[in-house]
Amino acid sequence: MKRLIIATRRSRLALWQAEHVKRRLETRHAGLEVVLLPLSTRGDELQDTRLDEAGGKGLFIKELENAMAEGRADIAVHSMKDVPADLPPGFALAAISAREDPRDALVSSRYESLKRMPEGAVIGTSSLRREAQIVASNPTLRVKLLRGNVETRLAKLDRGEYDAIVLAVAGLARLGLESRIRAKLAVEEILPAPGQGALGIECLAARSDVVSLVSPLADAASAACVRAERTVSRVLGGSCTIPLAAYAEKTGDRLRLRALVASPDGKRVARAACEGPAAEPEALGARAADELRGCGAAEILSSIGK
């Protein structure tokens, strides 16, 4: 291939991610021209509606997949936490790159930790996963919907609409905004979303030429962790309507996986922790999902219609 087109969302973070992949590909493949195709997605356009109410994570990638299906683009670059657990038929993840910091960040000019926020303080997030874990450990806080790109969310915080907001550490770091982070929240405090901190490259499954071209960008350890985490989500329903978290760590040839499912109000939380061979991440993810079901996740999922 002499020319490769990357479909990307228009947000500054999405463009950074696409440019990052562009630079790596051009460095790796001398003579390859990589071009960005910025597109507006339905997920970006809906600023005042919860994603779980509007159609889920697929709202961020449908237009990008259409561009690939129509031959206008060869690949799309995604934050893996925004990718649905099941891709549409005919699409595949060609590579998952080395993961950045997977943790969530507390951003606030007033408070240095979740635990120090007083009763009634307003904290912003659009994630049911974050909201459920926040209210589970801090039931006196008031969680308020926060949508928009990173800059929009920070502007709302700076205008005083929130006392604090929660964003991904990786996104802030990629935009050079790490100085805005007041605290990096330990995974024991807020367990990350499946795939958080990792970038994924999607293409048509039939494009073996594209898969070969981008495969050098793949990181085996990160991919194994993300595959285990995404399996938990897939087995349990794979939707952002579920307050679900999963995080895997690789040590040697083993993976340690932690996962949870919570009720949206945070009053019920099912947790699982298990370990298995790094070579079998899907099996480990399925086992974690079964453990979650056995310790209360089935009842939680039933109560929210899953």
Which residue intervals of the chain bear CATH 3.40.190.10?
3-97+198-218, 104-185
Q: What average pLDDT does this structure show over 215-244?
A: 92
Residue 238: is its pLDDT beyond 70? no
pLDDT band at 55 (very low <50, low <70, confident <90, very high): very low
Q: How far is CA 96 from CA 7, 81, 100, 153, 219, in A?
A: 16, 12, 12, 27, 6
Percentage of residues of the chain with pLDDT beyond 90? 89
More confident residue, 31 or 40: 31
Residue 210: is its pLDDT beyond 70? yes
CB 113 within 8 A of CB 106: yes
Residue 229: is its pLDDT beyond 50? yes
CATH superfamily assigned to domain 3-97+198-218: Periplasmic binding protein-like II (3.40.190.10)
From the list 44, 52, 74, 82, the catalytic residue is: 82
Residue 111: is its pLDDT beyond 50? yes
Residue 58: is its pLDDT beyond 80? no
CB 138 within 8 A of CB 125: no
Q: What average pLDDT does this structure show over 184-212?
A: 97
Q: Residue 304's pLDDT is what?
A: 82
- Residue 144's H or E segment, with its range, is strand 142-145
List the single range of 52-56, 107-111, 239-243 with lowest mean pLDDT.
52-56
Q: What average pLDDT does this structure show over 129-138?
A: 95
Which of 251, 47, 67, 276 lies closest to 153 in space, CA to CA? 47
- Residue 63's H or E segment, with its range, is helix 62-69
Residue 53: is its pLDDT beyond 70? no
Which residue intervals of the chain bear CATH 3.30.160.40?
233-303
- pTM listed for this prediction: 0.92
CB 115 within 8 A of CB 242: no
Q: Clarify whether 82 is annotated catalytic.
A: yes
Q: Which CATH architecture has domain 104-185?
A: 3-Layer(aba) Sandwich (3.40)
Residue 50: is its pLDDT beyond 90? no
Tokens read off for 190 = 């807020």
Q: What average pLDDT does this structure show over 153-166?
A: 97
Q: What average pLDDT does this structure show over 172-198?
A: 97
Distance of CA 43 to the CA centre of its chain: 14
Q: What average pLDDT does this structure show over 146-165?
A: 96
Q: What average pLDDT does this structure show over 79-83?
A: 94
Residue 111: which residues within 8 A CB-CB, separation 6 or more?
A: 117, 121, 163, 164, 182
Q: Residue 10's pLDDT is what?
A: 94
Q: Residue 62's pLDDT is what?
A: 92
More confident residue, 94 or 49: 94
- Beta bridge mates, 37: 7
CATH number of this structure's domain 233-303: 3.30.160.40
Q: What average pLDDT does this structure show over 272-284?
A: 98
The chain-wide mean pLDDT, for the chain, equals 93
Residue 141: is its pLDDT beyond 80? yes
Please compute, for residue 1, the number of CA atoms within 13 A of its CA located in the half-sphere on the CB side: 21
DSSP 3-state of 230: helix
pLDDT band at 164 (very low <50, low <70, confident <90, very high): very high
CA 53-17-32 angle, 5° bins: 130
Which of 129, 139, 165 lies closest to 263 in space, CA to CA? 129
